[in-house]
Amino acid sequence: MATKTTEANSETRAAATDAAPSHFIRNIVTEDRRAGKNQGRVHTRFPPEPNGYLHIGHAKSICLNFGLAAEFGGLCNLRFDDTNPSKEEVQYVESIKEDVRWLGFDWGDREFYASDYSEQLYQFALQLIKSGKAFVCDLDADQMREYRGTLTEPGKNSPYRDRSVDENLGLFQRMRSGEFPDGSRTLRAKIDMASPNINLRDPVMYRVLRATHHRTGDRWRIYPTYDFAHGQSDSIEGITHSICTHEFEDHRPLYDWFLDQLNIHHPQQIEFARLNLTYTVLSKRKLLLLVKEGHVAGWDDPRMPTIAGIRRRGYTAEAIRNFCERIGVAKRNSTVDIAMLEHCLREDLNKRAPRVMAVLRPIRVVIENYPENQTEELAAVNNPEDPSMGTRKVPFSRVLYIEQDDFREEPPKGYFRLSPGNEVRLRYAYIIKCVGVVKDAATGAVSEVRCTYDPETKSGSSRSSRKVKATIHWVSVAHAIQAEVRLYDHLFTKEDPDDLPDGIDWKINLNPQSLEILPDCRVEPYLGDAARGSTFQFERLGYFCVDAAESSRQRLLFNRTITLRDTWAKIERGSKKL
């Protein structure tokens, strides 16, 4: 992992220590404003297609678009690029709005839909037909592919390319009114079949598609292609900087051509590198497959890299925004180490998450010399990083649970936790010593650890100075609350799940151990009232959040957000030493 030093990683490592790093898009906007372009206006947009849930890659685009607008006193629109009725759904629109809002961005009253521009786009198409720049073509998809040529060979003109304006207008009108079957005719731009850029070889602008659209219903029988709709939608909205990912670089000359031919407001398209993350996939198509085939429980499964998934996992919007700022904006594609995202999360949770005690794999401890019916309320600090978070009381009594892992009947060398004859400190409480064990008659396994405590060693008391090598967490059996805890690991076993020999399905790299369910954990009573979605540090174990979808008072359910081990901090320290 540490060896994967991509361009973004080395840039971001430097960035992580500085304040907001500048980047080439910010520089372009600054320069445009200095030169008085667009009267100094900055107007961006985030343009999702509502065909799936947003993922962490989209968060990069959201932070960039909304962030630049805010920084320069401009505006950012939320525009749904909904020109493909067959894959789009209202549930996706709703989830996208929820996710953008949750990330902390506000589009005001500027919630737009490319489908709202249908009539305007149709008029633009008529304008191009009338100026002899577009024609109706009867080639089917296969024929069109044949005529298109290849990267090394020019294409051939369609036999329908020289239709008269009147004939084109008539046919296009009839396409609109639904006279022709799906796929039978297209409207194409008349550009150049010999262009080295295949996107300019008379690209399709409209296709016949008699599908019901989630907003316009059955009103339209033709739909514009993304390439025809996108740039014109930006223009209609007065966008100044149309920021998109690299795959659209080769389409830019086509967008420019449309805008120039139509002679309308011309936004400047700027491409940046899309975010890739290790141990996951960032493609709506693939994420949809994981959901449909049941590899995960849904779009918001806490293992998913979707915004809904990582939110349910316990990520905070601050951590994600901070991550997006730190990774910067580069021109070249690269892969960011997921450990860096996790590092940003830990940094945020370290400050805000109260620290509590929970025992995930419990074993009973009986303190023989502690009075049977006594309970003490011990003071515990909620977060040493932030004294304003105060303290709470933790009940202590004669019978406790500790982690099975914190006891060994036969301790290996260097094991300082509880073992026969050995002492440990119980966090916020006393030093205890193991004086024996009780074993299950049938299995021979240790079922109970017998201890004594030293009343002179109460935490915080003036006589508590005696030191032992280990401090462990615990809960009181009589007071603890039962909970289910779900431990998550990376969704894929490989850093790059797509790195496969030909013909092998990427899903083979799914991690069969990405979810472990611990049904019988015990947490301190303080957590009984915890709100859904709230996050805690379980001392020594990691960060956990109350599951926002399924947890209830009757059945408390926690997701492990992240462990405490910060591999990225180690990488960072290592690189500073060099």
Q: Which residues bind ligand ATP (CB under 6 A)?
A: 47-49, 57-58, 60-61, 244-245, 274-275, 282-285
DSSP label at residue 484 = E
Q: DSSP string covering 270-326, please?
A: EEEPPEEETTS---HHHHHHHHHTTSSSSTT-TTSSBHHHHHHHT--HHHHHHHHHH
The CA distance from 158 to 202, in Å, is 9
Amino acid at 335: T
Question: Which of residues 300 and 423 has its CB atom nearest to ligand ATP in the complex?
Answer: 300
Q: How far is the CB of 51 from ligand ATP (least distance, A)?
A: 7
Give CA separation, 205 vs 133, 213, 232, 391, in Å: 11, 18, 12, 64
Extract the tokens encoding 41.
């206006």
Question: Which of residues 324 and 426 has its CB atom nearest to ligand ATP in the complex?
Answer: 324
Minimal CA–CA distance to 558: which of 546, 540, 543? 546
Burial (Cβ within 10 Å: 0-12, 13-18, ≥19) of residue 160 = middle
Q: How far is the CB of 568 from ligand ATP (least distance, A)?
A: 20
Question: Which of residues 221 and 286 has its CB atom nearest to ligand ATP in the complex?
Answer: 286
Q: How far is the CB of 82 from ligand ATP (least distance, A)?
A: 10
Question: Which of residues 49 and 403 has its CB atom nearest to ligand ATP in the complex?
Answer: 49
Determine which one of 11, 49, 237, 342 is catalytic.
Answer: 49
Q: How far is the CB of 244 from ligand ATP (least distance, A)?
A: 5
Q: How far is the CB of 247 from ligand ATP (least distance, A)?
A: 8
Active site residue 292: no
The CA distance from 144 to 509, in Å, is 37
Determine which one of 274, 331, 393, 494 is catalytic.
Answer: 274
In the sheet where 222-224 sits, what is the strand order? Answer: 134-137, 186-189, 204-208, 222-224
- Residues 334 and 326: beta-carbon distance below 8 Å: no
Active site residue 274: yes
Q: Which residue is at the shortest CB distance from ligand ATP? A: 57
Give CA separation, 333 vs 4, 8, 467, 500, in Å: 14, 8, 53, 19
Question: Which of residues 57 and 74 has its CB atom nearest to ligand ATP in the complex?
Answer: 57
- Residues 488 and 514: beta-carbon distance below 8 Å: yes
Name the strand (E) or helix (H) holding 256.
helix 252-262
Extract the tokens encoding 486.
């779900």
Q: How far is the CB of 401 from ligand ATP (least distance, A)?
A: 44
- Residues 83 and 50: beta-carbon distance below 8 Å: no
Question: Which of residues 49 and 566 has its CB atom nearest to ligand ATP in the complex?
Answer: 49
Q: How far is the CB of 8 from ligand ATP (least distance, A)?
A: 11
Question: Which of residues 198 and 282 has its CB atom nearest to ligand ATP in the complex?
Answer: 282
Q: How far is the CB of 50 from ligand ATP (least distance, A)?
A: 8
What's CA 323's distance to the chain center, in Å? Answer: 11
Give CA separation, 393 vs 374, 379, 399, in Å: 15, 5, 17
> Per residue, what are the HEC states of 240-252?
CEEEEEHHHHHHH
- Residues 426 and 472: beta-carbon distance below 8 Å: yes
Question: Which of residues 295 and 408 has its CB atom nearest to ligand ATP in the complex?
Answer: 295
- Residues 383 and 526: beta-carbon distance below 8 Å: no
Question: Which of residues 275 and 341 has its CB atom nearest to ligand ATP in the complex?
Answer: 275
The CA distance from 471 to 260, in Å, is 71
Question: Which of residues 58 and 188 has its CB atom nearest to ligand ATP in the complex?
Answer: 58
**Could you give the maximum distance between any two Cα atoms of the chain, in Å?**
102
Q: How far is the CB of 9 from ligand ATP (least distance, A)?
A: 16
Using DSSP's 3-state secondary structure scheme, residue 114 falls into helix
The CA distance from 66 to 325, in Å, is 12
Q: How far is the CB of 117 from ligand ATP (least distance, A)?
A: 17
Determine which one of 163, 185, 284, 425 is catalytic.
Answer: 284
Positions marked catalytic: 49, 274, 284
